[in-house]
Amino acid sequence: MPDFSFRVLHTDGAARRGEMQTAHGAVQTPAFMPVGTRGAVKGMTPRDLREAGAEIILGNTYHLWLRPGDGLIAGLGGIHRFTGWDGPILTDSGGFQAFSLGAKRVMTEDGIRFRSHLDGSEHLLTPEGATDIQARLGPDIAMVLDECLAQPAALGTVRESTERSARWARRCRDRFLELREVTNPGQAQFGIIQGGTVPELRTLSVERTLAIGFEAYAIGGLSVGEPADIMYSVVGHTAPQLPADRPRYLMGVGTPLDIVEAVSRGIDLFDCVMPTRNARNGQLFTSVGRLTIKNAKYAGDGGPLDPACSCYTCRTHSRAYLRHLFVSGEIGAAVLNTVHNLRFYLDTMARVRQAIVFGTLETLRQSLQAMFSRPLSDS
């Protein structure tokens, strides 16, 4: 895979400061990937994302397959040209979205049969199909199709799901290696480690997934309601078993504190809807903790949202104005709040990378723990 590589530049304990090279550019790690499920990060343009400091974004196979269609996107030059984002893109396989349909989907050995949330039409998403769709979309990183399991679950159920995910991973890889005509010839494929919260099954999943061989590896099946200490324990058990010369991706995580805790356990890549979703709901991340902008106390507050932030929102608008937009239901509230929240997350990742270089990650971890372990801020 000549267009994909990874190197570790510095370490601080288990934490790694690295650089991931893709067909559409380099990503400094640890990195956070804003979530653009349908080919767009809600409330943000590609220009806004660049200004916020994003280097890589995430899209979703399920949604782009159903609308506007992977064939249409391929015909228009692939997902980079279609969206106007010329940097690296990772696409999730769509397994979690299909799983989330609940009674509208059936899991079998063949794949996931489901009814579309758009029009009720029936579809079958197979490991080979997920691989084909992503080949046509043309992201720089494609994820294998895995089975997402609701927790808590019986041990036998977790084992069966883990083994099925490993079989699906083999099918995805075989198909990936067969493909000849793809939108992005430099595409890499990541395997996914499952196993619930059972250490032995996580180890089994690592062994079977590494035996297949992928450009890199992700840890899936976490941040689905389990306590934070359990998540940290699973990450701490799993990450050291993954190859040191490949990036490690923790899927769907999480809060700033979750991210720095996972970085300290050896994780390099993250994605989460929290900064964008919370922005639309009026919850903002700041240097003094979380802030709920709808609170009446901000109605006459002429100060910036976060004096320590240099994003457009904080440079230009007061808390009073942001509250006015939010309680008035103005679209601009979601835009300005998202600009800030993503900038906070991406600035936090820059601080994490710097802390690893200087050997001060533990100090930063303690700072974030104090900041985000207390109740919502009224500062």
Q: Which residues are catalytic?
A: 92, 271
Give a three-class secondary structure readout of the chain.
Answer: CCCCEEEEEEEECCEEEEEEEECCEEEEECEEECECCCCCCCCCCHHHHHHHCCCCEEEEHHHHHHCCCHHHHHHCCCHHHHHCCCCCEEEECCHHHHHCCHHHEEECCCCEEEECCCCCCEEEECHHHHHHHHHHHCCCEEECCCCCCCCCCCHHHHHHHHHHHHHHHHHHHHHHHHCCCCCCCCCEEEEEECCCCCHHHHHHHHHHHHHHCCCEEEECCCCCCCCHHHHHHHHHHHHHHCCCCCCEEECCCCCHHHHHHHHCCCCCEEECCHHHHHHHCCEEEECCEEEECCCHHHCCCCCECCCCCCCHHHHHCEHHHHHHHHHCCCHHHHHHHHHHHHHHHHHHHHHHHHHHHHCCHHHHHHHHHHHHCCCCECC
Q: And the tokens for 316?
A: 């230009």
Amino acid at site 268: D
Q: Which of 214, 222, 225 is nearest to 265 (CA)?
A: 222
> Among residues 221, 267, 277, which one has the least CA distance to residue 43?
277
Between the alpha carbon of residue 48 and those of residues 44, 51, 334, the distances in Å are 6, 5, 13
**Contact criterion met (CB below 8 Å) for 89 and 141:** yes
At 366, list the tokens.
Answer: 């303690």
C-alpha span between 46 and 219 (Å, rounded)? 28
**Partners of 189 in beta bridges:** 142
